[in-house]
Amino acid sequence: MECLPDLSGVSCLADGADQIFARAVLDLGGVLEVVIPAERYRDGLPGECRAAYDELLGRAVRAHRLEFVESTAESHMAASERMLDDADVLFAVWDGQPARGHGGTADVVAEARRRGMSVRVIWPEGARRG
């Protein structure tokens, strides 16, 4: 596997694509920064994803903790906006559909595009939302 020591990734470590992205950054020799939306964010993750969250958080070089207590759509969108503050490119695993609720992928993509950021949409042919 190619090593990319200049690679830096920022993730909120949500279950699914966020954790896969974070692991890919680390596997490629890059550094990981995380944005934690709320004090109780981990509690809202599916139980089977918490060990990976803990491991990835432990491997991050920096954790930006927002001042929200509850893990809500508002805190998630604020975390995504904070993540975009430090990013050059947004890699979005997205089917192109509207967000299911405020702060979903469509909202983050729209914000990145509003900022003039490069957005790379990843959606394998034949994939469907879970």
pLDDT value of position 3: 72
What is the Cα–Cα distance from 121 to 130, expressed in whole angstroms?
A: 17
Decide: pTM greater than 0.75. yes
Q: Nearest 5°: phi and psi at 49?
A: -100, -5
Q: Nearest 5°: phi and psi at 15?
A: -65, 150
What is the Cα–Cα distance from 87 to 117, expressed in whole angstroms?
A: 8
Domains of the chain with bracketed CATH? 8-88 (3.40.50.450)
Distances (CA, A) of 24 to 1, 4, 102, 109, 111: 11, 11, 27, 21, 24
pLDDT along the chain (130 residues), means of 10: 81 95 95 98 96 98 98 97 96 91 93 97 82
Q: Which two tokens stand for residue 129?
A: 């939302």
pLDDT value of position 88: 94
pLDDT value of position 130: 67
What is the Cα–Cα distance from 64 to 48, expressed in whole angstroms?
A: 23
Q: Which two tokens stand for residue 23?
A: 């692991």
pLDDT value of position 127: 79
